[in-house]
Amino acid sequence: MTVLYRPRPSIVRRDSGLYGYERALARRGLSPIAGVDEAGRGACAGPLVVAAVVLRTEIDGIADSKVLTPARRETLHDRILATAAAVNVVVIPPQDIDTRGLHKCNVAGMRRAVAGLECDLGYVLVDGFPVPGLPAPSLAVWKGDQVSACVAAASIVAKVTRDRMMTSLDERYPQYGFADHKGYVTARHRRALAAHGPSPHHRFSFVTVNSVMRSEAGAAIGENGVGAGVA
C-alpha cells in the first residue's frame, strides 16, 4: 500500500511581515523560493518586463516597487542583483503583445523567467494569478508584491529594468515624454499621440493607441474625398 505524503498546511498571517511566506515555505523544506512579477502591464507603449528572483538573504527596506521612490528602487535593484541567489529577466516587445495578447504574453513571460533561473526551485510565488507549467509547485498571491519579499524583489527588478529602457527610448523619441510617464497613459502622452501619432514602440492593440490610428485613418479618407463623413 502506497502512502502519499502531504505536508501540513501553513497559515501565513498578513501581519507576519514581508518574509512570512518565505519562512513558512522554508520550514516545510520548500526552498529555494522564487518570486515572479512584471512591470508595464498597463502601459500603452514599451515592453512588458517580467522578473524572477530567488533571494539568498533578507534585504532591509525591500517593498512593493510602486511605493518606493525612484532613487530607492535603484539602490535596492543593485543590491538585489549583487546578493540574490538567482535573477532572470524577460523582455516582451510591443509587437508580441499586439500579436498574442497581453495576458498570454504575461503568462509565457513568467514561465520563461522562472525557467531561466540557474537553480533548482522548491517553490514559486507569483503575483496575482496562477501560471501553469512552472517547474516547481507554485502559489498565486493576491498583491504578492506587498506581502512577499521575493515577489517584491521581482517587482523592483522588473520596474527598474523597464524604467531604464523607457528612459533610453526617450532619447530616440523625445516628443512622447517616455522618460516621464514610462509609456503609461497620461494627459501629456495623449497629447503627444494626437500630435505625432504612435511610434513603433506603441502597442497598437491598446484602445488609446488604436483610437488615434482610427482618427488618422478617418482624416486621411476625408481628405481624399472617399468615405468622408463615415464614422
Whether 206 is covered by a domain: the verdict is yes
Q: Looking at the structure, do residues 111 and 124 belong to the same domain, yes or no? A: yes
The pLDDT, as a whole number, for residue 11 is 53
Q: Looking at the structure, do residues 60 and 72 belong to the same domain, yes or no? A: yes
Whether 7 is covered by a domain: the verdict is no
Domain boundary (156, 171, 186) is at: 171
Give SS3 for 50.
strand
Q: Looking at the structure, do residues 69 and 146 belong to the same domain, yes or no? A: yes
Whether 75 is covered by a domain: the verdict is yes
Angle, CA of 54, 158 and 95, to the nearest 5°: 125
Q: Looking at the structure, do residues 164 and 180 belong to the same domain, yes or no? A: no
Q: Looking at the structure, do residues 111 and 154 belong to the same domain, yes or no? A: yes
Q: Looking at the structure, do residues 58 and 148 belong to the same domain, yes or no? A: yes
Query: How far apart, in whole angstroms, are the C-alpha atoms of residue 96 and residue 100?
Result: 6
- Structural domain boundaries, residue 48: 20-171
Q: Looking at the structure, do residues 117 and 201 belong to the same domain, yes or no? A: no
The pTM of the full predicted model, rounded to 2 decimals, is: 0.87
* CATH number where 86 lies: 3.30.420.10
The pLDDT, as a whole number, for residue 217 is 54
Give the chain's domain count.
2
* Packing angle, helices 20-27 and 149-172, rounded to 10: 130
Angle, CA of 125, 130 and 131, to the nearest 5°: 85
Whether 84 is covered by a domain: the verdict is yes
Q: Mean pLDDT in each 10-residue stretch from start to end of the chain (231 residues)?
A: 44 69 95 98 98 96 94 98 98 98 98 97 96 96 95 98 98 98 97 96 95 64 32 23
Query: How far apart, in whole angstroms, are the C-alpha atoms of residue 189 and residue 212?
Result: 12
The pLDDT, as a whole number, for residue 17 is 85
Q: Looking at the structure, do residues 97 and 138 belong to the same domain, yes or no? A: yes
The pLDDT, as a whole number, for residue 230 is 24
Q: Which residue has the cell 493576491?
A: 142
Query: How far apart, in whole angstroms, are the C-alpha atoms of residue 49 and residue 56?
Result: 22
The pLDDT, as a whole number, for residue 118 is 94
Whether 12 is covered by a domain: the verdict is no
Q: Looking at the structure, do residues 138 and 179 belong to the same domain, yes or no? A: no
Whether 4 is covered by a domain: the verdict is no
The pLDDT, as a whole number, for residue 97 is 98
The pLDDT, as a whole number, for residue 75 is 98
Q: Looking at the structure, do residues 46 and 104 belong to the same domain, yes or no? A: yes
End-to-end CA distance of the chain: 71
The pLDDT, as a whole number, for residue 211 is 87
